[in-house]
Amino acid sequence: SLGIAVGSGLQISLFAVPFAVLVGWATGKDFSLEVDLFSLLALLLSVIHVNFITATGTSHWLMGVALLAVYVLIATTYFYR
């Protein structure tokens, strides 16, 4: 079930971003796919962390705390950036 959840998020993101670019192009609004280094590193950290969490197929409360900690860390960094 975790694989399905992660796969669904991936499929939506692979559809939504190109669709948003096409809608922006059709309406005359700029929508660039440029990503700054910090955003790229935050995304990479999130993907690696979720991969480690979901690889075993088991769950523990400490894994959930680790996911929340990474979320709070990234959100706080974006807030004070």
pLDDT digits (tens, 9 = 90+) for 5-56: 777 877 887 888 888 888 888 998 887 778 889 988 998 888 888 888 888 8
B/e letters for 30-45, b = 16+ CB within 10 Å, e = fewer, are: eeeeeeeeeeeebeee
Instruction: Give the pTM.
Output: 0.64
Nearest to residue 49, comparing CAs of 28, 25, 68?
A: 68
